Amino acid sequence: MDDQLQSNEIPPLKGEAVFIAGLGVISAIGNNVAESLNALTSGNAGIEAMKHLNSIHKEELPVAEVKLTNEALADLAQLPSRISRTALLSTVAAKEALDNSGIDITRWRTGFISANSVGGMDKTEDFFEDFLQNPNAGHLRSVVNHECGAVTEITADALGIKDFVTTVSTACSSSANSIFLGARLIRQNRLDVVIAGGADALTRFTLNGFNTLMILDNQYCQPFDDNRRGLNLGEGAGYVVLVSEKVAATLAEAPSVTISGWANANDAHHQTASSPEGKGNLLAMKGALQKAGLQPADIDYINLHGTGTNNNDIAEGTAIKTLFDGNYPSMSSTKSFTGHTLGASGGIEAVFSALAIQEGVIFPNLRFDTPMKELPFRPVTELQKTAVKNVMSNSFGFGGNCSSLVFSKYIAR
């Protein structure tokens, strides 16, 4: 493993850049990019008591729910409210991203790569409850979109994308993996435009599963704090519109952000835990830097995976300590705002990373009080306004599936 970590086998990207031409997001802190940016810069978190999810844990486990009902989301998405909440969230954010880009996708080879981990489970749960009472009750339309790919297909149809449509489901690294798959397809001249990211809705199945693992916090989470207790689950969707240089040259406003590096690694340590040494985390971060042709000192901000669990934060922190070795960039976990949105987190945090570069801001790590005794650094606790050229965004999932993305400010050659 040491030899592998010290190797430099991943060549930096050369040739055409892959630009971010549009952003779209919905989460507990806002129904669009503008609302989300306002919440991030004003320090307004979206975590609170459950309102929409019908759970026996409603009074004891805070969550970060999107504030809209399914009916309100359906109006925004222009879809029937009977479809899954995941598909509604996905369509709202993906439409915003495409609209923000101003691109006529009929002119280009366009793909939609979307991630999720829950599929249409929310509707399946409702069906199953009725079915247990009466095997002849319930609507089968509630279960036909149960699997993860159905969510992607609903949104792709709503966007009118048919050239390439696929789904990624690798737990909490899902959206990050969908984004760099899109970047690779553009680099390989397979596609011109890719809307990439992911979505996930809260369900009882998810909440109960994480509660069984005993990693949920019954208070508001405190990522990277020495007294952290666990994570708060959230929901939402986030997408970026990736374009080639050829497409970027046709846009009315030249894009200012590229995805410059990416890597995925797997330490295969445990089904639901990262290795304490952060081996997979380190491989992913180092690989993303190498792909971008950057040194650790070039990173201005790390958007931490930062869930607030004991295992995640020590694994990620140890890997950062090893890689950055005393030259630590500013860093924070925006999950302190949005909760952990699981399959959507990489997409949502990619949007936040691009905003950090565009707006020249570094977002605070809310509710941080006590530095972790194992780490020589601490996250940012107040909004910083500063030039941001390179951002690393980490997404580490169950089974050791670790991904890191690097976003960079574009400087014309």
Residue 3: inside a domain, yes or no? no
Beta carbons of 164 and 105 less than 8 angstroms apart? no
Q: Token pair for residue 374? A: 């194992």
Catalytic residue among 148, 172, 221, 402: 172
Q: Give per-residue pLDDT as tens, 156-204.
A: 999 999 999 999 999 899 999 999 999 999 999 999 999 999 999 999 9
Q: Token pair for residue 66? A: 């999107």
- Tell me: do 140 and 176 sit in the same domain: yes
Q: What is the CATH number of the domain that holds 344?
A: 3.40.47.10
Q: Give CA–CA dist 235/201, Å, rounded.
A: 5
- pLDDT (0 to 100) of residue 380: 98
- pLDDT (0 to 100) of residue 277: 78
- Tell me: do 215 and 297 sit in the same domain: no
pLDDT, mean of residues 132-154: 87
Q: Give CA–CA dist 98/83, Å, rounded.
A: 21
Q: Which residues are CB-contacts of 236 (< 8 A; sequence separation ≥ 6)? A: 25, 26, 27, 28, 64, 66, 89, 93, 199, 200, 338, 341, 344, 348
- Tell me: do 241 and 98 sit in the same domain: yes
Beta carbons of 120 and 151 less than 8 angstroms apart? yes
Q: Give per-residue pLDDT as tens, 104-124.
A: 999 999 999 999 999 999 999
Q: Following CA atoms 268, 270, 271, 273 in sequence, which dihedral angle do they give, to the nearest 10 degrees?
A: -110
pLDDT, mean of residues 341-361: 98
Q: Give CA–CA dist 125/193, Å, rounded.
A: 36
Q: Is the pLDDT of residue 402 over 60?
A: yes
3-state secondary structure at position 23? strand
Domain boundary among 228, 248, 268: 248
Backbone angles phi, psi at 260, to 5 degrees: -100, -20
The reported pTM is: 0.94
Q: Give per-residue pLDDT as tens, 278-331.
A: 899 999 999 999 999 999 999 999 999 999 999 999 999 999 999 999 899 999
Beta carbons of 341 and 260 less than 8 angstroms apart? no
Residue 9: inside a domain, yes or no? no
pLDDT, mean of residues 3-20: 57
Give yes or no: 305 in active site.
Answer: yes
pLDDT, mean of residues 264-280: 77
Q: Give CA–CA dist 260/285, Å, rounded.
A: 13
Q: What is the per-residue DSSP string for 284-342?
A: HHHHHHHHHT--GGG--EEE----S-HHHHHHHHHHHHHHHTT-PPEEE-THHHH-B-G
Catalytic residue among 148, 221, 269, 305: 305
Q: How high does pLDDT run on average in the chain? A: 93
Give yes or no: 270 in active site.
Answer: no
Q: Is the pLDDT of residue 10 over 50?
A: no
- pLDDT (0 to 100) of residue 8: 37
- pLDDT (0 to 100) of residue 130: 79
Give yes or no: 146 in active site.
Answer: no
Q: Give per-residue pLDDT as tens, 353-378.
A: 999 999 999 999 999 999 999 999 99
- Tell me: do 233 and 332 sit in the same domain: no
- pLDDT (0 to 100) of residue 341: 98
- Tell me: do 292 and 371 sit in the same domain: yes
Task: Work out the pLDDT band at 268, boundaries 50, 70, 90.
Answer: confident
User: Which residues span the domain enclosing 234?
Assistant: 19-248
- Tell me: do 353 and 216 sit in the same domain: no
Using only C-alpha atoms, what is the Rg of the chain?
20
Domain boundary among 248, 280, 313: 248
Catalytic residue among 148, 221, 269, 340: 340
Q: Give per-residue pLDDT as tens, 229-265.
A: 999 999 999 999 999 999 999 999 999 999 999 999 9
- Tell me: do 184 and 45 sit in the same domain: yes
